[in-house]
């Protein structure tokens, strides 16, 4: 039996657990069931998978080296390497993840009056709502400005603008 500090002891269970988390969350994301913390768990699980895989490689370096000398080992590494390189290019496709950052930045930089109209609420109602949460704002300020002024996370402020509470009113989770 391997020592508890040896990669043989911890790498395989960590790799299996992280793989299961990534596989399940990845499938959920594929079918656009990415509510809650699914995406965050998927992203952070990738680090666990990398750590487990590195430990697994360290513990099994000689068999890995022998496998890579085989034709199948070489072809599999080359194929996945080619897929990785190809994934850096968009090939003319516009994807949701490519759009996410510029859209989020546009929302953060837009005046509250624009966000209110996008959300089908009166700008003064949005300003009043923020005021009820202790945020003194005017309709021409942006989420970015308010975030810096009140030292609040931009996503929390965007949640106050766009998410619904139990009474049908829009607010951030946890309010």
What are the φ and ψ backbone dihedral angles of 161, each rounded to 5 degrees?
Answer: -80, -45
User: What is the reported pLDDT for 173?
Assistant: 44
3-state secondary structure at position 120: coil
Task: Return d(Cα 156, Cα 153) in angstroms, integer.
Answer: 5
| Of the residues 60, 89, 118, the one at which a domain ends | 89
pLDDT for the residue 89: 87
Contact 158, 149 (CB under 8 A): no
Q: What is the pLDDT of residues 19-35, one digit of tens each?
A: 999 999 999 999 988 88
For the chain, how many structural domains are there in total? 2
On whether both 116 and 55 belong to a single domain, the answer is no
Instruction: Please name the residues in contact with 68: beta carbons below 8 A apart, sequence gap of 6 or more.
Output: 74, 77
Is 170 inside any structural domain? no
Do 39 and 81 fall into the same domain?
A: yes
Domain boundary among 71, 89, 107: 89
What mean pLDDT do residues 43-58 have? Answer: 95
66 lies in the same domain as 114: no
In a domain, 117, yes or no: yes
Query: Looking at the whole model, is its pTM more than 0.85?
Result: no
Q: Are residues 133 and 155 in the same domain?
A: yes
For residue 34, what pLDDT is reported? 82
Range(s) of the domain holding residue 25: 7-89
């Amino acid at each position: 039996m391997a020592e508890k500090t040896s990669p043989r002891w911890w790498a395989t269970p960590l790799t299996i657990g992280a793989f299961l988390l990534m596989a399940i969350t990845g499938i959920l994301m594929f079918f656009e069931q990415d509510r809650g913390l699914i995406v965050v768990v998927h992203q952070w699980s990738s680090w666990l998978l990398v750590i487990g895989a590195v430990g697994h490689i360290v513990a099994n370096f000689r068999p890995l080296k022998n496998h890579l000398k085989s034709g199948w080992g070489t072809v599999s590494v080359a194929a996945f390497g080619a897929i990785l390189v190809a994934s850096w290019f968009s090939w003319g496709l516009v994807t949701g993840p490519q759009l996410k950052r510029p859209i989020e930045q546009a929302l953060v930089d837009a005046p509250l009056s624009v966000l209110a109209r996008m959300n089908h609420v009166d700008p003064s109602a949005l300003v009043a709502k923020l005021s009820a949460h202790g945020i003194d704002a005017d309709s021409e300020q942006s989420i970015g400005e308010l975030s810096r002024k009140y030292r609040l996370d931009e996503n929390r402020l965007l949640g106050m603008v766009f998410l619904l509470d139990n009474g049908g009113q829009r607010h951030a989770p946890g309010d």
